[in-house]
Amino acid sequence: MSARVIEFPEQGIPGTLVRYTEGGGEPVELAACGPVALSSGSRLVYVLDATGADGGEGGEDAFDADAVATALAQLPSDAFVVADLAGATDAMVRAIAGQRALRTLVLAGDFTDEGVAALGGMPELTDLVLESPRFTGAGLAALTGSETAASLDSLVLSEATAFRPEHLRALAKTPHLTSLTFDGMPVGHDLAGAVLAHLPRLAEVSVAERPGHALDPAVLERLLAAGLCVNGISAPPENAALFAGAAAEAATPSSAAGQDDEDEDGEDGEEAPEERGVLREVVAEDELERLLAGPVPVLVDLTAPWCGPCAFLTPVLEDAVEARGAALTGVKVDVDRAAWAQERFGVLGVPTVLLLREGREVFRFSGVATRRQIDGWLATAGVAAR
């Protein structure tokens, strides 16, 4: 039984419309025209490639970008929960700004600060991605104190080569912003200073310089020393300099893809390698305490049986631990069985891996990593293979 019906223009609007049901069920692609029925719990995702709008090359069939903006503006304000617009113009951005139920908004095109400044009325928006060479950041400053600023959790700036870091400081009082990503744009001390203005709420930063430009280790060291997780790497302030290079390595395409390693992330659909029991399973906190009190460093793998990436990472960790023999102890902690683990280590998600020496944290990383990366990080920490 339908819970509601959303009326799209009879002539339709270009793009892809997908209906999915929260909690399960296969996504269903729909035509974005006429009445679209939604059952209870179902939501709509809208994807548009307008890079070929008005007869340009690429994208979908040529269409009038202004006409699309007009059609979007006429939709109910709760039509979509996710919208991804490539080739976005200011007119399209202003139109999609009327979607007050959006949780994720991805914009790529030649829009300007004028368009971004119109995004202030989105009380449900948690994830915002902005990619435009004409965007300077002044549009972000215009969002200060808005409903959008109050709800935003993650902000991604990509290829925003005209971006001026001082505009980021305007969002420093955003109450829920915990994640910042900068991709393909200058990353210097001025940007680092603007990022640090978001402490203590900010938890993680991902940075990747423009192609051909290496990341400055001093900038990454500054971010790590402030307690931020940078490119999936965290380290205590006294180890920030050591692991700045690791954070820079994690940003390189070859490292991220693991092209020189076995397909440990399973992107090609291969089954996860089987675990061999090399890592000692720990459930009780006092058992871990006894291991940490010893002279041998301990690598702690925080995992869960329902976590897909964990299934690929754990065997890689087993190989790394096994290669170090008695010089490293490996531990696996199922956070579902060991309820104390996430709170103790301040971990929000799995997989997360920590190296501890004499009970003190040396470094940590989250997500899947290659054997080569793990070996390098352990070597940096002074735990080399036999």
- Domain 2-257 and domain 280-380, same fold? Reply is no
pLDDT of residue 23: 72
CA distance 19 to 345: 38
Provide the residue type at 370 as one letter: T
CA distance 128 to 251: 21
Pick the CATH number of 2-257 from 2.60.40, 1.10.10, 1.20.1250, 3.80.10: 3.80.10
CB atoms within 10 A of CB 54: 13
* Angle of CA points 286, 292, 293, to nearest 5°: 90
Residue 102: exposed, middle, or buried by beta-carbon count in 10 A (0-12, 13-18, 19+)? buried
Question: How are beta strands 352-357 and 360-366 bridged, if at all?
Answer: antiparallel
pLDDT of residue 65: 83
User: What number of helices (H) and strands (E) belong to the chain?
Assistant: 13, 18
Q: What letter does residue 301 receive in the DSSP assignment?
A: E
Extract the runs of DSSP E, i.e. beta strands, from the chain: 2-8, 16-21, 28-30, 34-39, 42-49, 82-88, 104-109, 127-131, 154-158, 179-183, 204-208, 229-230, 233-234, 280-281, 298-303, 329-334, 352-357, 360-366
Residue 78: exposed, middle, or buried by beta-carbon count in 10 A (0-12, 13-18, 19+)? middle
Residues sharing a CB contact under 8 Å with residue 287, sequence separation 6 or more, in sequence order:
none
pTM of the complete model: 0.88
Residues sharing a CB contact under 8 Å with residue 185, sequence separation 6 or more, in sequence order:
157, 158, 159, 160, 161, 163, 209, 210
- What are the residue ranges of helices labelled H in 251-346? 253-257, 285-292, 308-322, 340-345
Give the bridge partners for 287, in sequence order. none
Which string of b and e fits 330-355 if b means at least 16 CB within 10 Å? bbbbbbeebeebbeebebeebbbbbb
- Collapsing DSSP to helix, strand or coil, 289 comes out as helix
Positions marked catalytic: 307, 310
Provide the residue-wise pLDDT of the chain in tens; the chain has 386 residues: 457 888 888 888 889 999 998 777 789 999 888 899 888 889 999 999 988 655 444 444 556 888 889 989 999 999 999 999 999 999 999 999 999 999 999 999 999 999 999 999 999 999 999 999 999 999 999 999 999 999 999 999 999 999 999 999 999 989 999 999 999 998 999 999 999 999 999 999 999 988 778 899 999 999 999 999 999 999 999 999 999 999 998 886 544 434 444 444 444 446 777 888 899 999 999 999 999 999 999 999 999 999 999 999 999 999 999 999 999 999 999 999 999 999 999 998 999 999 999 999 999 999 999 999 999 999 999 998 87
CB atoms within 10 A of CB 189: 12
Quickly tell me which residue has 């419309």 as its tokens.
17
Residue 69 CA to its chain's centroid (Å):
28
Quickly tell me which residue has 């113009």 as its tokens.
89
Q: HSE (CB half, 13 Å, CA atoms) of 237?
A: 4
Tokens of 150: 């109050």
- What are the residue ranges of helices labelled H in 230-307? 240-250, 253-257, 285-292
Provide the residue type at 243 as one letter: F
Domain ranges of the chain: 2-257, 280-380
Its CATH class, for the domain covering 280-380, is alpha beta
